[in-house]
Structure 1
Amino acid sequence: MVFDVATTDKKKIYNLLIGLVAPRPIALVTSRNEDGGINAAPFSAYNYLSIDPPIVALGVADRPAGDPAPKDTARNIRRTGEFVVNVTTEDLLRQMNICATDFPAEVSEIEMAGLETAESSVVSVPRIKSAHAALECVEHTTLQIGRSRIILGRVVAMYVEDQFVDPAGPYIKAEELHAIGRMNGLGSYVRTEGSFLHQPRIPYSEWVKGKR
């Protein structure tokens, strides 16, 4: 089947795209609202884009058609210029999913999910205490494209529990961290525990020797 984007319904495009661009890391983002409360929301339109400077990107769609307002996370980041990406691991799946619920503005997702926060080292927005790793970010720029906002955040500090850091690199002990990924829009996720495949890059010097 071929789907012509120009003539395909936007919801269908969404369903297809998120099923093909997978697995996707999940950013459980904490931000601060105008009353000083902390908002928590997951986004799987998320990845890192560069390392010098270190930049991560969030794709945050506006609220459903008929409501022109941006989602709380985008509004909070634009106002304060700060946010924290909490790495979603398998043990946080249930709480992350609760934070995805469309609660009324006065309801705290963090409270509903039974989560606690901890002070960040650089930004004023706290991280989620039970998250094993988190990226503290300041807004680099926000691009509004159609009904979405592409938020580029510059990473200013990284928190990782000691047990998940190999000081030799330093490297992240990814096989022990157990991050999860989003697969589609049907509630499907993938776990990484016990699922690693190792395929090191081939140096050119080895390639010409026939060591492939």
Structure 2
Amino acid sequence: MKFDVEKAKPREIYNLLIGLVAPRPIALITSMDENGGLNAAPFSAYNYLCTDPPIVGIGVANRPTDALVPKDTARNIRRTGEFVVNVVTEDLAQQMNICATDFPAGISELEMANLETASSAVVKVPRIASAHAALECIEHTTLEIGHSRIILGRVVSIYIEDEYVDPAGPYVRADQLHAIGRMNGMGSYVRTRDSFMNIPRIPYEVWKNGKE
């Protein structure tokens, strides 16, 4: 099948893109409003974009209304300039899903998911205490594109529990961390437990000699 993007409805394009651009890492973002109220919400339109400086990008759509109303996460980041990306692992999957619920104003996602917080090292926004790794971020810029916002955050501190760090690199012991990924809009996720395969990069000289 072929889909004409110019003629398709936005929801149809959304359904197709999130099924093809997969698996996607999940950012469980904690943010804070100007009064100190905390918010937690997961986003799978997320990835790292560069390392010098270290920048992560998050796509945050507006609320599904005719008015261009930002979600709490985007509004909080715009007003305070800080947020924390908590890495979603297998043991946090169900609590992450609770945080995705569209609770009425005044109800804390963290409380509903029974998640406690811990102080961050640099930013005022706390991380989730049970998250095995987290990225503390300061807003670099926010781009408003159509009905969405692309938020670029500069990573200013990285927290990883000791058991998941190989000091030789340092490297993340990703095969032990068990992060999960988002697959489509039908509630599908993927585990990384026992699913790693190793494909070393081929140096040019090795590749060339193999062709001769």
TM-score (structure 1 length as normaliser): 0.98
Correspondence 1:87-126 to 2 at 5 A? 87-126=87-126
Calculate percent identity across the aligned residue pairs.
73
Worse-matched range after superposition: 65-74 or 123-132: 65-74
Match of 2:152 in 1: 152
Gapped regions of structure 2 (runs ≥ 5): none
Query: What CA deviation, in whole Å up to 9, does each residue of 1:180-200 have, x standing for no partner?
Result: 000000000000000011101
Deviation of residue 67 (structure 1)? Answer: 3.6
**Distance in structure 2 (CA, Å) of the matches to 1:112 and 1:75:** 21
**Distance in structure 1 (CA, Å) of the matches to 2:67 and 2:40:** 21
Amino acid across the alignment from 2:199: Q
Q: Secondary structure at the match of 1:74?
A: helix
Gapped regions of structure 1 (runs ≥ 5): none
Match of 1:200 in 2: 200
Deviation of residue 68 (structure 1)? Answer: 2.1
**Distance in structure 2 (CA, Å) of the matches to 1:198 and 1:169:** 17
Q: Secondary structure at the match of 1:136?
A: strand
Amino acid across the alignment from 2:96: M
Match of 2:40 in 1: 40
Alignment RMSD: 1.1
Correspondence 1:16-31 to 2 at 5 A? 16-31=16-31
Match of 2:163 in 1: 163
TM-score (structure 2 length as normaliser): 0.98
Deviation of residue 209 (structure 1)? Answer: 1.9
Deviation of residue 207 (structure 1)? Answer: 1.2
Q: Secondary structure at the match of 1:41?
A: strand
Query: What CA deviation, in whole Å up to 9, does each residue of 1:73-111 have, x standing for no partner?
Result: 000000000000000000000000000000012000000
**Distance in structure 1 (CA, Å) of the matches to 2:28 and 2:163:** 21
Amino acid across the alignment from 2:65: A
**Distance in structure 1 (CA, Å) of the matches to 2:184 and 2:142:** 25
Query: What CA deviation, in whole Å up to 9, does each residue of 1:124-157 have, x standing for no partner?
Result: 1000000000000000000000000000000000
Match of 2:181 in 1: 181
Deviation of residue 35 (structure 1)? Answer: 2.4
Worse-matched range after superposition: 9-18 or 33-42: 33-42
Amino acid across the alignment from 2:9: D
Q: Secondary structure at the match of 2:210?
A: coil
Amino acid across the alignment from 2:35: D
Amino acid across the alignment from 1:84: V
**Distance in structure 2 (CA, Å) of the matches to 1:205 and 1:140:** 40
